[in-house]
């Protein structure tokens, strides 16, 4: 018991708020303050994703110009996903598709899938033993089709500026189901600018296309906002080493680190988008390339969950400075 305080929220805590205006009207946000400098919000109406991340009051994530958007505005067709792609620190992509829109056997799969626009069916948040915890349960189930669930747990330390995202996906149906999952984590200004130092300890890196390959020597170098910038994506491999990516802002003395198991999340996409206002660096571990379900299927690279099978994925984030 701390005799100096009346309520634990003087030191750290979690509160639920609801937006009242604009396209985000009705969106619920769980605001988390760990008392050491880390502040974030979790959106239970959007897969318990993380729209904002701050450290000592400084923004670390990228917010799309569309801002907060409630799932009622989601349109899965083609690339219309972008109209409600808040981005934020984390937008989860999947579970039926990651990347390019496509159609298979008459079924259309929109850009990056629908899970990021799916509200949690149940969620709770609480503190236990010095850890702030969000638990959420998301159903991705339809009749005559996919039947999968996602159980998400987010653990935020009150002892250091770190958090862990732990997801368990289960095939609750009676047929094999492809599982596509990508953690679309988006770094933004002022953490990100032309002076940022990007460190991805991969053993191999290739460009997604010729445009990226032509400038592959500069994959780690950030640039000033550039009019009509064409995005560059790089695919990193981690063979026999820990999955690790970091971005440091020397002017602020802030470093953000991402760690994951490359045996479990065996693909890593770096999205370098240095446009005017569209200024973002994606550091994205996943179990797939963002090429679209049709391409991964044709190449025999998609992961399959059998009926009743579960798969757990863990991503660790730490901020220092």
Give me the pLDDT at residue 147, please.
Answer: 96
Do residues 173 and 147 touch, judged by C-beta distance below 8 A? Answer: yes
Q: Taking the alpha carbons of 91, 97, 99, 103 in that order, is the dihedral positive or negative?
A: negative
CA distances to 93, 166, 207, 314 from 285, in Å: 11, 13, 16, 10
- pTM here is 0.97
Query: Which positions ≥6 away from 265 have C-beta within 8 Å?
Result: 181, 183, 243, 285, 286, 287, 313, 315
Is the CATH number of domain 8-320 2.70.98.10?
yes
Question: E strand or H helix at 294, and its extent?
Answer: helix 293-298
In tens, the pLDDT along 276-317 reads 999 999 999 999 999 999 999 999 999 999 999 999 999 999
Please write the tens of the pLDDT for every residue from 180-234.
999 999 999 999 999 999 999 999 999 999 999 999 999 999 999 999 999 999 9
Collapsing DSSP states into helix, strand and coil, what is residue 57? coil
Domain map of the chain by residue range?
8-320
Q: What is the per-residue pLDDT for 37?
A: 98
Tens digits of residue pLDDT in 129-153:
999 999 999 999 999 989 999 999 9
């Amino acid at each position: 018991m701390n005799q100096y305080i009346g309520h634990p929220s003087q030191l750290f805590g979690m509160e639920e708020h609801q937006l009242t205006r604009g396209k985000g009207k009705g969106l619920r946000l769980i605001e988390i303050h760990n008392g050491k400098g880390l502040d974030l919000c979790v959106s239970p109406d959007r897969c318990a994703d993380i729209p904002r991340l701050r450290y000592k009051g400084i923004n670390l994530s990228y917010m799309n110009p569309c801002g907060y958007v409630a799932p009622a505005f989601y349109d899965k067709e083609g690339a219309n996903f972008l109209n409600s792609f808040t981005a934020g620190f984390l937008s989860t992509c999947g579970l039926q598709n990651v990347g390019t829109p496509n159609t298979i056997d008459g079924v259309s799969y929109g850009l990056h899938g629908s899970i990021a626009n799916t509200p949690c069916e149940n969620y709770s948040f609480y503190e236990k033993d010095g850890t702030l915890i969000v638990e959420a349960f998301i159903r991705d189930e339809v009749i005559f089709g996919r039947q999968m669930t996602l159980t998400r747990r987010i653990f935020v330390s009150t002892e250091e500026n770190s958090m862990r995202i732990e997801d368990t996906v289960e095939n609750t149906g009676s047929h094999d189901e492809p599982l596509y999952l990508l953690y679309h984590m988006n770094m933004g200004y002022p953490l990100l600018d032309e002076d940022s130092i990007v460190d991805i300890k991969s053993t191999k890196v290739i460009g997604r296309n010729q445009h990226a390959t032509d400038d592959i020597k500069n994959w780690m170098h950030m640039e000033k906002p550039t009019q009509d910038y064409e995005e560059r994506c790089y695919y990193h491999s981690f063979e026999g080493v820990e999955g690790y990516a970091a971005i440091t802002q020397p002017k602020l003395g802030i470093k953000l680190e991402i760690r994951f198991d490359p045996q479990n999340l065996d693909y890593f996409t770096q999205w370098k988008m240095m446009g005017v206002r569209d200024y973002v660096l994606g550091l994205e571990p996943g179990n797939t390339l963002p090429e679209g379900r049709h391409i991964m299927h044709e190449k025999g690279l998609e992961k399959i969950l059998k009926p009743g099978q579960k798969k757990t994925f863990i991503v660790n984030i730490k901020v220092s400075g």
